Structure 1
Amino acid sequence: MTGPRRYRDVRAATLAASPEVVWRAVLDQVEVLGQPSWYVRMIGCRDRQASGPRPLAAGSVVPGFKVTTADPPTQLVLDGVHRFSVYTLTFRAVATDAGTRLEAHTDATFPGFLGAVYRLLVIDSRFHKLATRSIVTRIRRRVEHATRP
């Protein structure tokens, strides 16, 4: 018998800013993940309320996610669990000649029949790709705002 199918995806952008500026924008954006809160409750997320140290560090919680690794300014790893999925969202900021390459890595499994249905609704519909692209776009806007003269 095989286990649940694994989903992996990477969304990336090169931002004209230092990793430190990108890191602050990632932290600001992650703080508003898990909105709307009714959705986090509806799907039964393990982590439903913000708690723990700020700025985000290992052990911090934002709705839908627990921070497992915070290595400023290069890596932030968020893990989550809900009724239909077990998932990790990892942000990596890599310095380049052009600024910083920001990568948002998703790794998820969808166990059981309901997990397969959820995968169909969220992954196969491309909704997740659009949502992750939107997160990266909002981070880009935060960086652009922070680097304006």
Structure 2
Amino acid sequence: MDATEIFDLPYIDTHTSLVAASPDAVWRALGETFDHPGFHVVTSVPGRELALAGSHRFSTYVLVFRLEEAGADRTRVEAESRAAFPGATGRLYRLLVIGTRGHAWAVRRMVRKAGEDALEGRGAVSESGSATGRDKPPPASG
């Protein structure tokens, strides 16, 4: 999936949160949060936007995180979800994940975790302005 295909997927929902950390720290923490769970980076604009996609036999999905400065060391995080659920098993999967509000809970938890990680310095930047240790931003892709 590339950046032009994101909006081809049906819209699911948007969740907005206020995080007590800078947009750059939140962006790096989001990259760390999603480094392992089966997503790949579709778009990456440091400190502003991170779009991640994934798929399995029941769905193809994308999460788009948009970050906006909301005061000193505060970031408004908007998490938009889009997904397709093909076939009868996909419809059942959608009912189980979206219909039970499990998806909404999971997205809010991911944003909260990224905020906590940013506050704990896992999204920290060294004095030289580069990401520290394992806190490197996700790789940019097409």
TM-score if structure 1 supplies the norm length? 0.69
- Runs of 4 or more consecutive aligned structure 1 residues displaced over 4 Å after TM superposition: none
Alignment of 1:36-47 (within 5 A): none
Paired amino acid for 2:89? L
Provide the secondary structure at the position in 2 that maps to 1:120: helix
Partner of 1:112: 87
Provide the secondary structure at the position in 1 that maps to 2:120: helix
Q: Does 1:125 align with 2:100?
A: yes
Provide the secondary structure at the position in 1 that maps to 2:40: strand
**May I ask how many residue pairs the two structures share in their alignment?**
114
Partner of 2:118: 143
Corresponding residue to 2:40 among 66, 70, 73: 66
Paired amino acid for 1:92? R
Task: Provide the aligned C-alpha RMSD in A.
Answer: 2.1
Q: Does 1:25 align with 2:29?
A: yes
Corresponding residue to 1:82 among 56, 71, 90: 56
> For structure 1, which runs of at least 5 residues remain unmatched after alignment?
35-62
Q: CA deviation at 1:7?
A: 4.5
In 2, the alpha carbon distance for the partners of 1:7 and 1:17 equals 28
Partner of 2:3: none
Paired amino acid for 1:72? P
Paired amino acid for 1:17? A
TM-score if structure 2 supplies the norm length? 0.72
Percent identity between the two aligned chains = 41
> For structure 2, which runs of at least 5 residues remain unmatched after alignment?
1-8, 124-142
Q: Does 1:8 align with 2:12?
A: yes
